[in-house]
Structure formats: C-alpha cells, structure tokens
Amino acid sequence: MAIETLIEKRDDGYFRVKRHYSSHTGMVSIKIGDGAEVEEGDLLYTITRLGLIKKRLTDITGTVRNINTSVDNVFCGYYTHVLDVEHMLNDEEVQILEEERDYIFVEAPQGAQYYTTSNPGMPPIVNVGDRVDSGSVLAVAMVMKKRREIIYQGPRGRVAKIYFMNGQQVKAGQKLFGILPKPVK
C-alpha cells in the first residue's frame, strides 16, 4: 500500500495525515464518504485488477478527508492520490512531537540486531546525555555474525533518546537515536 504520513499544525492542534495512493494500476472503488469517522481496520477503498480485488483498510482512527472523486469507479494509474485519513494527536503525542522536533535521527541502515555495548558485559558505548561528534560510534549492528559499527555523521550534539533496547532486532529505516544538535550561540 502506498501511504505518505505527515504532521500538520493547525489552529485547533496537530494532526497526523495519512495520504493514501493507489499501489498499482486498477479500477478504484471508494467505499467511504468525505468526513466519515473511521476506526483501525475499516475499509476505505478497493482496487480491482485482473479480476482480483484488493481491499485497502485504515490503520488509524480518524476522519476521511480530500477524497479524489475523479478516480472513483475509474481505471487509474500507479501512485494516484485516492484519499486522506487524519487523526488529531493527543496531548502525549504532541509532547513527543515537540520534544523530537529538533532531533537529528540516526536510523538503522539495515535490518539487524543492534547493541548499545561493544561486547557483552561492557558499559554502553553512549548513554542519553552524552556528547557526540561526527565520527562517533553510537552502536553495533550484528548480521549473520558480522559486526558493523553505527557511526554518527552529523553536527556535534547530545544523545537525547535511544529508541531500541540492547540486543533488539530493528528493521531498516527505524529510528535508533535522537540527537539534539548543540545550539548556535
């Protein structure tokens, strides 16, 4: 499924907007109306191709907006905008968003087991609050018994958040660290 997620700030708060696009060519049939309230797992639309019907379900609770009615019951191309589902962030989600707004994220370059220590029984390579510079080793990734150091490639800053537990399996692209850059004086 082709989805883009973005955060919008409006007068009445922050919203997570998930923009749904067709994931392949086919006949789109929209099953919901603009302004409808949906819950996780509700059917949004289907795409029919070569007699196969693929259902597109929502993964968040929210409100349907910006339905592209020009594609309803029409054969459309790949990555055509179909509709948006928006969800107002709660106070806890807003707090996390504002805390992380200035972070530089270090993401996992590949799916692997990630470790905060260089060897078992050793102290962590970095802790929350530690200063890091470009070239600093942050963690170790293990794939098929091969070690790969995760090296920070950004401006000087402090480790603000660690998003994984020592030895945890992490997928490619997931956040490993949040680095708060040193403020300019």
pLDDT in tens, the chain (185 residues): 578 888 888 888 889 999 999 988 999 999 999 999 999 999 999 999 999 999 999 988 999 999 999 999 999 999 999 999 999 988 888 887 877 778 889 999 999 999 999 888 889 999 999 999 999 999 999 988 899 999 999 899 999 899 999 989 999 889 999 998 886 44
What value does the CA radius of gyration of the chain take, rounded to a whole number of Å? 21
Give the C-alpha separation, 41 to 109, whole Å: 31
Measured distance CA(175)–CA(103) in Å, rounded: 11
What's the CATH fold of domain 103-181?
OB fold (Dihydrolipoamide Acetyltransferase, E2P) (2.40.50)
Both tokens assigned to 17:
């907007």
> Do 103-181 and 2-92 have the same topology in CATH?
yes
Domain covering 2-92 assigned CATH 2.40.50.100 in the classification = yes
pLDDT at 183: 65
The pLDDT score that the predictor gives to residue 101 is 79
Cα–Cα distance for residue pair 81/83, rounded to 1 Å = 6
Bridge partner list, 114: 141, 168
Predicted pLDDT of residue 93: 85
The structure tokens 């707004």 sit at 101
Q: Where are the domains of the chain?
A: 2-92, 103-181
Torsion of CA 118, 172, 18, 63, to 10 degrees: -60
Decide the pairing of beta strands 43-49 and 131-132. Answer: unpaired
